[in-house]
Amino acid sequence: MRTLVTGGVKSGKSGYALVLAEEFAEPRFFLATAEAFDDEMKARIARHCEDRAGRFTTVEEPLAIQDKLCERMLLDCVPLWLNNMLYYGREAQVEGAVTEFIERLPRDIVIVTNEIGWGFIPADPLSRRYGDLLGLVNARLASACDRVVLMVAGIPLAVKGPPGPAR
């Protein structure tokens, strides 16, 4: 089943996505988009690696995620991928990459993203553009998925499709 897990920062998205992806037969794959630009990100990445140790084969790809898709995969996360695309000057390639990603979506995948535009309007143009782009990408992914789960304070809420396991 194609599942999009979304929600706010620290809402339990990654942990719940792991629960969903563990329902896949082995081998299972984890597509990691994060790059460790500083010590805090290094620590976050290390924690995520510990959380999934031995249960997933990790594939690291910060940009060309559409080229790394395979069955039984968890992708974590779309916002960091989009950040990377902007950071490396590839904003013009985002729409095409998303189209190709959706065309190649495997039957069994869990995709983690964030809802960042619910609380305030950023003060700078880059942050506003990022928020707008992420909202558009999320909408396209949600349309292509069978199930969409919104995490609120650690509680999964079914938005589209069948509910997943309780948390």
Residues taking part in catalysis: 48
What Rg do the C-alpha atoms of the chain give, in angstroms? 15
End-to-end Cα spacing for the chain: 19
Torsion-angle region of residue 30: left (phi > 0), alpha (psi -120 to 50) or beta? beta
Instruction: Judge whether 138 and 82 are in contact, CB under 8 Å.
Output: no
Structure-block tokens of residue 49: 């690696």
Spatial strand order of the sheet with 29-32 comes to 57-60, 29-32, 73-76, 109-112, 2-7, 147-152, 155-160
Burial class (CB in 10 A: 0-12, 13-18, 19+), 132: exposed
Residue whose token pair is 């609380």 = 119
